[in-house]
Chain A
């Protein structure tokens, strides 16, 4: 991919995620989207950068902080908004809500609202890929809180023991709900521990999707070359409260000054600046943004207009029949 095209692609994703979430923020308090939302605002560079690097044929799992990952994977918003509103045209026909998005056609095989629960699925999916000779890398996104769960360590151990092509992506926003690692961890340094496993470890603190894209390519190459998993540790700042659409700087557990620092390098603004520096014209950028604004607004309206599912949907797909 040439650089201009790459950055345009990345920008398309980060801008889409940001715009879709801004629309949610605008409407959420109307109480029509009755689903607990864990907003992605602040992590756009990670999901966009990693997803773009993965390319076709890869599989992904994620968490309830799902909007960014879903939109980066699919770039569609019709089903997305319909799901937020619980409509029959939604991703899960209104049965899942914000915490249960997936798109098997785009390789996004599932997210879970129970912290850490998709991590072993990624390891099993990678095993299936090797078993069926698919040359496939499976990526799993999770937060720094998920690392406190036993299942993370069990899964890491199995992936490393079997040298499976798994890319672990820890999106570290420094909090599990409101608790920083210092209140949760009886050890000094996560990455140093991970390095003891048969795995390649990469870490970065950046809001630049292009850098994350490049780092992910390195990780993918290491998986292929060294025949073992890779671990990406990426820092970001969660702009909004843990769940919900508002700021929570007055809650006392974190400081707005920190936020202002991160905002200066906001992932969307940063990429937009890059586009300008590589001489993409204002007109071209605006055209792209307008197109996405239009897509998002139209999708939202369609979702508002769509019906709720019929009652027969209730039991459907409880079993394979």
Chain B
């Protein structure tokens, strides 16, 4: 049974249901138990599970991640929350030197069932210290799993899987997706980590798009459809482990690939994926792989420059036109998403 709920409420449901199921789960971080409750995603948890299992913390990101690691190897299942991924950077020593290697460094005697929820910001002047995503960086580190839910159902399902996983999992939620509503299973049904999803089937070109880029890719595909171009949109959902098979299958079919990663391009996930596709399918590709992502600079605050920084549906449409050697469409009659009119997505 499904019900239409927002991404925010889907996260909230996952937390309620999992914490009810397993007493060893606790959730903590700046704002977790304050009245704003991590943009509403931790609402009601304090009331239901009490301050022992749900608490706000001092501003000590490094120690608090180490604290989670210590608790995880001693039998608990911590969920550490960061209102912005940018703040998690203060805990990089713990994440990279400790959390990621702890199981390896115990010869498999200890396990680290630890979830790190971190939110990606965008728009309304977030600027360059409230808007990073960093999945490529996290996925670079052996020992970490990295997921990026795009749809409300995955926001719930991937979080459930992350909580049940005995490995550390970084869950990157997108703030702009919080209000998106879609059908979500009422029951706690995990989304397998390492399985991607076809968000839209098509036959002319594949766009692999992560997190919010998938929203733009869907929009682009809808516009292109009017021109008779059929775009397949693949959401990897999990950066590591990666569902290579699903992407390969799609590209085998369309023989054209754009990777629209929600991150910087250089040394990023898009480079990783492009290499993997070239390794397997170079002889089958009809065009070079195109990679789109953040401009190689810091995210600017003002809207006109911010528009330049990100890849949006229009840029995707132009990229498809170029690849497929189509005439430039007139987009003046199209309406595109904008946070100013509060995102109500297709999911």
Contacts and interface: CB of A to CB of B under 8 A. Distances in A.
A121 B105 CA distance: 14
Contacts of B60: 154-155, 157-158
Interface in A83-118: 91-93, 95-96, 100, 102, 104, 109-110, 112, 114, 117-118
Contacts of B52: 131
Interface string B12-55: 00000000000010100000000000000000000000001000
A72 interface: no
Given A109-B73, A128-B75, A129-B74, A151 B108 contact: no
Nearest to A313: B107
B62 A150 contact: yes
Nearest to B53: A131
Interface string B49-86: 00010000110101111111111111110100000000
Contacts of B69: 120-121, 124
B249 interface: no
A319 B103 CA distance: 7
Contacts of A277: none
Contacts of A158: 57-58, 60, 63-64, 67
Contacts of B111: 320
B94 interface: yes
A123 B94 CA distance: 14
B319 interface: no
B58 A120 contact: no
A100 B69 CA distance: 17
Contacts, number: 139
Contacts of B64: 120, 154, 158
B74 A123 contact: no
Contacts of B57: 158
A316 B143 CA distance: 11
A59 interface: yes
B125 interface: no
A59 B74 CA distance: 10
A317 interface: yes
A317 B105 CA distance: 8
B97 interface: yes
A320 B167 contact: yes
Interface string A301-321: 000000000000000111110
Interface string A118-143: 11111111111101100000100000
Nearest to A120: B66
Contact of A117 (B74, B94, B167): B94
Contacts of A61: 70
B328 interface: no
Contact of B26 (A126, A131, A151): A131
A125 B74 contact: yes
B93 interface: yes
A191 interface: no
Given A110-B102, A129-B74, A317-B108, A123 B97 contact: no
A120 B93 contact: no
A132 B108 CA distance: 23
A161 interface: yes
Nearest to B60: A154
A147 B186 CA distance: 49
B66 A318 contact: no
A121 B110 CA distance: 13
Interface residues of B, number: 43
B242 to A, nearest CB: 14
A124 B107 contact: no
Nearest to A166: B70
Contacts of A92: 105-107
B109 interface: yes
Interface in B94-147: 94, 97-98, 102-112, 142-143, 145
B241 to A, nearest CB: 9
Interface string A153-186: 0110110010000000000000000000000000
B93 A154 contact: no
A94 to B, nearest CB: 10
B166 interface: yes
A125 B70 contact: yes
Given A127-B70, A158-B60, A110 B105 contact: yes
Interface string A3-32: 000000000000000000000000000000
Residue in A59, A123, A128, A161 with the greatest tally of chain B CB atoms within 10 Å: A128
A157 B143 CA distance: 29
A92 B110 CA distance: 12
A319 B71 contact: no
A112 B110 contact: no
Given A110-B105, A131-B52, A320-B103, A120 B110 contact: no
A163 B167 CA distance: 29
B250 to A, nearest CB: 26
Contacts of B103: 317-320
Nearest to A315: B142
A318 B65 CA distance: 19
Interface in B148-175: 165-167
B105 A319 contact: no
B110 A104 contact: yes
28 contacts: A59-B74, A100-B105, A104-B106, A110-B73, A110-B105, A114-B97, A120-B64, A124-B66, A124-B67, A124-B68, A124-B70, A125-B71, A125-B73, A126-B70, A127-B71, A127-B76, A128-B74, A128-B76, A132-B24, A151-B63, A154-B60, A154-B64, A158-B57, A158-B63, A317-B106, A320-B103, A320-B108, A320-B111
Given A104-B106, A109-B70, A129-B74, 10 more contacts: A91-B107, A92-B107, A110-B110, A120-B66, A120-B69, A132-B74, A317-B103, A318-B142, A319-B103, A320-B111
6 smallest CB-CB distances across A and B, nearest first, come from A124-B70, A120-B66, A154-B63, A121-B70, A154-B60, A128-B74
